[in-house]
A and B are shown apart, each in its own frame.
Chain A
């Protein structure tokens, strides 16, 4: 449902709006604008996910300033995107010396930075490179925009979110309501696969996905999917596996050329949009996300969360699980625990 809300708000970017009631203003202040000013920073904006993500954020009318940061390539990406006739002002920042400026005043920071998987790799294989990247980016966030909502995309999310938390705790800026591992792509996949199998229009479908963001830690709750369908137990098992392996499916189809970029950008934009709506006081903004949580014995867990002016307003419970899902939950907990601990250990040792 919220995917279509994003589409509707973006559609206004595509249709001509020459209802010009605006008076001539001397500077770019649009005094008639009743939508709050919001700055979004994308760290890793010149990458495979970062570029299409930056495009989608440029099209989002809730964004007033867009900062694009990367270690290379951002001047070109920013010049490109800045030509688009939508609301936000774009600025490109390149290299660590400019990271602070990129971050200052940000309301939402989206982090797709890092290297993607190649065929045969798990998300955990990326750990060594991406952990270091995430650590330094989060150190800067705690310095320059400690109150921002952080949307972590860099894999392995199950570990990079705990790393971020440790960095923020060390800096004394940690707010557990403002750190999110982005699991929206798992939800998007679950909905798409469920709709396809059940022959239901995907716009009508909702499926919660809980747990984590890798392999069996991804637990789609098809028993809670709406609308109901007549799928057999075998079909549910197949859908569960397909959702869990969705990322690998794309890595293999791309045969060494990368992992999901466009669908990840799309999902990342949906989640960032939800964060912005929450900040702006829109009610009933609910998305699945990997957050600090007490709904299981693990310190972090993905479930539905309600988003508001301070980030997470409420972590919603798992709801009723089928026997198959309860089994899945038991299986995922040890793996997720290990990934979380790996992240915490890395942050404390380095």
Chain B
């Protein structure tokens, strides 16, 4: 264990040097809080989970507590965090866990944080679209982002709260208003679509799911989810029936679970897994690992829309490079047009929510 922790300490020292607090930005509000690493914690990053006591938040918190790149874990929610924190704090892994309960503690929860994961909000019931959640979740996301802008403006933000197609633009508007917006640091989590795509494609191909990689672009709802089956690794061909089946199944994966749960909620465990997979990629990027590439919904020039999901390279500053879509076949080009139409509306809905 010794060599690893020495290496981690070196890396932490180097990252701290390359990642200094931006004094210019923070001058506008006085440095009331030290933007420093938590004392007593080992090498690693400080992560906050907003909505930690919820259906996604709890298993997400458990998995982040197990992640060796996490040194401090802040669990925030409006209810129940003391219990969840007491539970998780017994796990014999290195991260120090702290509980934050209620809006009054939001700022403390966010102070000095490197990565903020936001699963907060209400889930779908059968018959609902992600957009039906808009009214409640939009307000929640706005409040949380105001806190982030104030307390940890340089943090990487992983936004899970649905509808992601709108909440990411909402977050961007909040950050722009606060003067803290960095498009590289705001990422809508679409990893679960990738996870589902890998699983369903592997099933059709008769392969181990761990060996399949399907890029999924566009957005994170229904037809805005665009799996690029023509770019699957390992290179594979699909019949038209398989293409239709897989595309529909990937797009409706979330609905599949909402219906199977018959009112008891939406995907929690697979969402927690996907969120941690993505958060881990962000942490590896922050850590200086090279070649960390995952799909994410980001501020993008890849299409004419202001936000779009595609493969991004994650580094010390978040999404440092956004990859273009690559070659699309005719089916995918048609899907892209359909996706962009709906996505444009969802993005506008989010932007308008803040601007009005």
Most chain A C-beta atoms within 10 Å of own C-beta, residue among B58, B87, B234, B268: B87
Complex: chain B residue closest to A46, CB-CB? B264
Complex: chain A residue closest to B197, CB-CB? A85
A201 touches B269 (CB 8 A): no
Chain A residues whose C-beta falls within 8 Å of the C-beta of B269 in the assembled complex: 51-52, 54-55, 58, 77, 80-81, 84
Binary A-proximity of B243-260 (CB < 8 A = 1, otherwise 0) = 000000000010011001
Please report which residues of chain B, range 43-67, place their CB below 8 angstroms from some CB of chain A when the two chains form the complex. Answer: 58-59, 61-62, 66
Please report which residues of chain B, range 210-241, place their CB below 8 angstroms from some CB of chain A when the two chains form the complex. Answer: 210-213, 233-234, 236
B-side interface residues, number (CB < 8 Å)? 61
> Known contacts A22-B234, A83-B257, A85-B210; is A254 also within 8 Å of B94 by CB?
no
Within the complex, which residue of B94, B208, B260 is in contact with A22, where a contact is CB–CB below 8 Å?
A: B208
Judge whether B267 is part of the interface by a CB distance below 8 angstroms: yes
Give the CA-CA distance A18 to B89 in the complex, in Å: 34
Judge whether A266 is part of the interface by a CB distance below 8 angstroms: yes
Within the complex, which residue of A13, A84, A260 is in contact with B87, where a contact is CB–CB below 8 Å?
A: A260
Q: How far is the CB of A241 from chain B (nearest CB, A)?
A: 15
Give the CA-CA distance A25 to B204 in the complex, in Å: 10
Binary A-proximity of B66-99 (CB < 8 A = 1, otherwise 0) = 1010000000000010111111111111100000
Binary B-proximity of A10-40 (CB < 8 A = 1, otherwise 0) = 1011111111101011111110010000000
Give the CA-CA distance A250 to B97 in the complex, in Å: 14
A-side interface residues, number (CB < 8 Å)? 68
B90 touches A55 (CB 8 A): no
B209 touches A86 (CB 8 A): yes
Give the CA-CA distance A27 to B207 in the complex, in Å: 7
Chain A residues whose C-beta falls within 8 Å of the C-beta of B89 in the assembled complex: 192
Within the complex, which residue of A25, A52, A79, A83 is in contact with B195, where a contact is CB–CB below 8 Å?
A: A83
Measured CB to CB, the residues of A under 8 A from B are 3-4, 7, 10, 12-20, 22, 24-30, 33, 51-52, 54-55, 58-59, 61, 73, 75-87, 185, 188-189, 191-192, 195, 201-205, 246, 249-250, 253-255, 257-258, 260-263, 265-266
Measured CB to CB, the residues of B under 8 A from A are 1, 5, 42, 58-59, 61-62, 66, 68, 80, 82-94, 192, 195-196, 198-199, 202-203, 205-213, 233-234, 236, 253, 256-257, 260-262, 264-265, 267-270, 272-273, 276-277, 280, 293-294
